[in-house]
Amino acid sequence: MKKWYAVIGDPIAQSMSPAMHEEWFSDAGIDASYIPVHVREQDLSKAIESLKRLGCSGWNVTIPHKTAIIDLLDEIDTSARMMNAVNMVKVLEDGRLYGMNTDGHGFVRSLEEKYGTVGKGKNVLLIGAGGAAKGIAFALHEAGYGPIAITNRTLEKAELLSSDIEGASAIPLRDAEANLSNFGLIVQTTSVGMNFAKEGIPLQLMNVSAGTIVADIIYNPLRTEFLEQAESKGGLPLNGVGMFVHQGALSFEQWTGVYPNTKKMIRTITDQLG
């Protein structure tokens, strides 16, 4: 039987995942399909039952189900446990549901695809302390980056997150802003600057040093005000397209054993959004 995969969420029509995975299946010569499934918050458990019954082999999970789905799975990996969020599910051979979170590792892959390991051995500044920040902080730490300083509008949340990561510290936004030249890798994980609706910038970048890698996990718009300021100071930019593509590629690899062509996909999506 032809295998099929899905992405569930609400809203879902705008998702770029189906086109991305369909292209990768075709490139890999795998006869499988990937469809968007609109699942409202209150329908999640019924939807999971249906996906299982209809033989779906795995699916991605997006807003608003990333946390709620955990209770409906049989097992989750460490990243998902730490982030309290799942972005992909694999149906195991015995039918059990295994949930993972590939967002943090997707970020590290995207960083290294563009800049190699230039950021290693440098002080890292992470802006934000929500779910995305958590996954990225753990993945960076696991990959040997750091020490990591975490700054956030609500400092207590940065303190809480930093206490979970060896060698990490929390610093107030103003101190981070004043001492930006100490950091060789800066990662913006808040929603500030997203979709033009939340215009603005979480901190000013006038003190950033030329040659510092400055990443923003937002990909719509491709160039946030944060990245624009960084570039005007000679910072090396990284937008969120790579993280999106690599979290998908890591899902694809879990399902098929193949790591797909991410560079080509990043170009396609960048052209679409540009």
In angstroms, give the least distance from the CB of 67 to ligand ATR. 9
Is residue 69 a contact point for ligand ATR (CB under 6 A)?
no
Is residue 101 a contact point for ligand ATR (CB under 6 A)?
no
| Contact present, 113 and 129 (Cβ < 8 Å) | no
Q: Is 144 exposed, middle or buried (0-12, 13-18, 19+ CB in 10 A)?
A: exposed
Q: Tell me the β-bridge partners of 97.
A: 91
The reply to whether 233 belongs to the active site is: no
Give 87 or 256: the residue with its C-beta nearer to ligand ATR.
87
In angstroms, give the least distance from the CB of 132 to ligand ATR. 4
Marked catalytic residue, from 52, 66, 134, 263: 66
Instruction: Return d(Cα 94, Cα 72) in angstroms, integer.
Output: 16
Is residue 132 a contact point for ligand ATR (CB under 6 A)?
yes
| Contact present, 174 and 153 (Cβ < 8 Å) | no
Phi-psi label, residue 29: left if phi above 0, alpha if psi -120 to 50, beta otherwise = left
Query: Cα angle at 264 between 90 and 16, to 5 degrees?
Result: 50
Instruction: Return d(Cα 106, Cα 244) in angstroms, integer.
Output: 7
Q: Tell me the β-bridge partners of 61.
A: 8
Give 124 or 132: the residue with its C-beta nearer to ligand ATR.
132
Secondary structure element (H or E) that encloses residue 5, with its range: strand 3-9
Q: Tell me the β-bridge partners of 149.
A: 125, 169
Is residue 260 a contact point for ligand ATR (CB under 6 A)?
no
Show the binding pattern over residues 197-236: x = contacts ligand ATR (CB under 6 A), - = does not: -----x----------------------------------
Part in contact with ligand ATR (CB under 6 A); list of ranges 94-102, 139-147, 148-156, 243-251: 148-156
Is residue 192 a contact point for ligand ATR (CB under 6 A)?
yes
Part in contact with ligand ATR (CB under 6 A); list of ranges 48-56, 112-120, 184-192, 254-262: 184-192
Question: Which residues are identified as catalytic?
Answer: 66
Give the footprint of ligand ATR on this chain (CB under 6 A): 128-133, 152-154, 157, 189-192, 202
